[in-house]
Structure 1
Amino acid sequence: MNRMNQNDSPDTFGNNTLQFIDTYKKILEKCFQVHISSIKFIGGGSYRVFEVDNLIFKFTHEGPANFLEREKDTCELLKEKLSISIPYFIYFSDTCPSFKGAVGGYKKLEGESLYKISTCNKMKTAHQIGQCLSELHAVPLNEEFSHQRARRELLEFYKRIQKNAFHLLNKTEQQWTASLFENFLEDNKNWRFFPVFVHGDFDSSNILYHPDKGVCGIIDFEEAGPGDPAWDFCTFLDEYGPDFLHIILHSYNNDKVTDHLFLDRISFHAKRIIFCELLYGIEYNQPEHTKHGLIRLKKAIENQITGGWLYQQHR
């Protein structure tokens, strides 16, 4: 539900960057017999991600292949159901020599991540996002969804906040956080939503934008599957504010999910995901994210637009 899963970890390589990149270059050459003229590390998190010529390759953190294989299968499932471009894996292996995890690769899609775009037609962009979500949420579910499990996972997330973050919050912030989570968890009406096929991490970093075409692609489907449709809207309230969100909703077509509590759930999850960054900073010793998460929390308490993650502040 919108970052971070337990396999996420920061990648810092310091002076060993060139050696690190060369190691992964050799793995690809040996595993897939590809000729590589250029390779660039472009991100860490759920995976280590490299741009290799005109391809994108993802490496798991030498652990189970589940997330990457799930993403590959999800993209295959969605390929014929969405009109927008998404990754299609042409390389995949969980038996590469000298690497214990899984590796997958697909052709790089057109466009830049939306969060990098300083100016865009917001009306058009929001309209296109609403259309994309209409298509995605209409995809038939390929597995069952458990409201009870989702409720239990949210409770565990709240307990992590209490254990790891409360000591950084003042009394007002602690009370606000407790009220936010406890009221939502205890109200049964919040757990009667109609589940749909969601992206699960749908923010401006995973939306590709072209200056002429507008929204032209969606990436990073490792968390996709059955869920609350509100999960796929909440980041836009954080990043762009209520006016942008309302344009998206106006262009969104799914009568089954827009119940009278829909906006309330979007509002809750927009606040919840602030704590994803805060916990990430605390649990992975990334003080800049801890500081930024606390700033976003103060803005939320004051009913201001909180913005996205720290790396999304480049706009």
Structure 2
Amino acid sequence: MDTKESKYVSYIKERYPQMDISKVECNFTDGMHGDIVIVNEKDVFKFARYDWSAGYIENEVNIIKLIGRDFSIYVPKAEPVEKGIARFNYIKGEPLYRNTLFQLGNRMQEMVAEQLAMFLKQLHSIPLKAERIKNLSECQATMSQEEWLTKFEEIERKVFPYCDSYSKEYYRQIFRPLLQDEKFMDYQPVLIHGDLMPYHIIFNKNTNRISGIIDFGLSGLGDPAYDVGILLDNYGETFVKRMSRYYKSIISYLDRARFYAFVNNLLWAESVSDMLVTRDFTNFRIPAKDRDIMPIGTRWFDIKG
């Protein structure tokens, strides 16, 4: 047991003396902001890795309390322990890997698409009454159209020196809709997950169903297209098209979702360029991605499938 694990386990034993700890699993590498300790495959303790990341854990607890229990997909219960520490109940399963999803039969894929669509539909439809959202912040991914254009200027300065002419034009085309349509990024803010990556979608291979959605640390008010864009980036357009049968609003903001999906890798390239300058590679990761995304502006009835 390493020093960090020992420290966390000692804390849990002291805080919960009645807890009989027979099995401990730790994850100190995957999360960007927190360390995870799983006890007895029953409880998940999340510890802020840095002083500034305690806010993510506090936000996650608040969001889970806000959304309640009435969801088609299970959301873990959350209990604040103290500043920068929270306890959640464990959900059995594994990340919904792209390969896992597309190795399912057609009917099972449809069921998973329906599950995800209904979850997002329910999340994005939560009434945002004043008393419920007074402490709710914007999702960190939320940016105005003007801010996105400023971001592109930064990308041109930081990333383009490492690009060939083809890549530069490819990236310019991603931002072109924002230059041509001043209302391209207009939307009505809703509550979004903000980080709906495959490893936050827990899948049960015995039932071929999603058993839970986790990690609401980045959740807040934002563009519903952003959640769809993350799914688009990881599972592709054909799968998201399936989802639209159950969450029809997806069609109305499909182009924004495509933008978010396309721009995701570009933002990562900007982060890497910053690392090259600072020589700080603490958060460097090699992403695993596939592509099945139509160009912005493509209408689904123009393509087969």
TM-score, shorter chain, exceeding 0.5:
yes
Matched, 1:58 2:61: no
Instruction: Determine the structure 2 residue equivalent to 1:124.
Output: 111
Q: Residue 277 of structure 1 contacts residue 289 of structure 1 at CA under 8 Å; is this kept in 2?
A: no
Change (3 A) 1:30 1:156: farther
Query: Which secondary structure does the structure 1 equivalent of 2:242 belong to?
Result: helix
**Do structure 1's residue 231 and structure 2's residue 231 form an aligned pair?**
no
- 1:193 aligned onto 2:184: no
User: Which AA in structure 2 matches 1:204?
Assistant: P
Q: How far is 1:271 from its partner?
A: 0.5
Q: 1:110 aligns with which of 64, 70, 92?
A: 92
TM-score by length of structure 1 reads 0.74
Distance 1:46 1:145, change over 3 A: closer
After TM superposition, give the deviation of residue 157 of structure 1 in Å.
4.1
- Equivalents in 2 of 1:240, 1:213: separation in Å? 17
Aligned to 2:25: 40
CA shift in 2, pair 1:167/1:138, >3 Å = same
Alpha carbons 2:76, 2:88 under 8 Å: kept: yes
User: Given the superposition, is the C-alpha separation of residues 52 and 91 from structure 1 closer, same or farther in structure 2, using an over 3 Å criterion?
Assistant: farther
Q: Which residue of 2 aligns with 1:242?
A: 237
Structure 2's unaligned 5+ residue stretches are: 296-305
Contact 2:189 2:224 in 1 (8 A): yes
Measured in 2, the distance between the counterparts of 1:107 and 1:148 equals 29
Give distance in 1, aligned partners of 2:123 and 2:48: 26
Q: Alignment partner of 1:106: what SS?
A: strand
- CA drift of 1:109 comes to 1.5
Give the paired residue count: 272
Task: Sort the Cα spacing of 1:300 and 1:84 in 2 relative to 1 into closer, same or farther, 3 A.
Answer: closer
> Superposed, which structure 2 residues align to 1:253-264 within 5 Å?
253-254=248-249, 258-259=251-252, 262-264=253-255
Shift of 1:75: 0.3
263, 273, 285: which one aligns with 1:272 = 263
In the alignment, is the contact (CA less than 8 A) between 1:281 and 1:289 conserved in 2?
no
What is the SS of the residue equivalent to 1:217? strand
1:52–1:228: structure 2 CA closer, same or farther, 3 Å change rule?
same
Q: What percent identity do the matched residue pairs reach?
A: 23
**Equivalent residue runs for 1:81-160 within 5 Å:** 81-94=70-83, 102-115=84-97, 118=100, 119-120=103-104, 121-141=108-128, 142=133, 143=136, 150-151=144-145, 153-155=147-149, 157-160=151-154
CA deviation string 1:248-304 (max 9, x = no partner):
1111154xx753xx12111111101113443454535279846x58x97xx79997x
Equivalent pair of 1:280/1:289 in contact (CA under 8 Å): no
Q: CA deviation at 1:208?
A: 1.4
Structure 1 pair 277–127 and aligned structure 2 pair: CA distance change class (3 A): same
The CA distance in 2 between the partners of 1:243 and 1:148, in whole Å, is 26
Does the Cα contact within 8 Å between 1:278 and 1:289 map onto a contact in 2?
A: no
Q: Are the counterparts in 1 of residues 72 and 118 from structure 2 also a CA contact under 8 Å?
A: no
Q: Secondary structure at the match of 1:233?
A: helix
Change (3 A) 1:72 1:46: same
Does structure 2 conserve the Cα–Cα contact (< 8 Å) formed by 1:79 and 1:88? no
Q: Which residue type is aligned with residue 39 of structure 1?
A: V
Q: CA offset at residue 66 of structure 1?
A: 1.5
What is the alpha-carbon distance in structure 2 between the residues aligned to residue 116 and residue 18 of structure 1?
33
Q: Report what 1:21 is aligned to.
A: 5
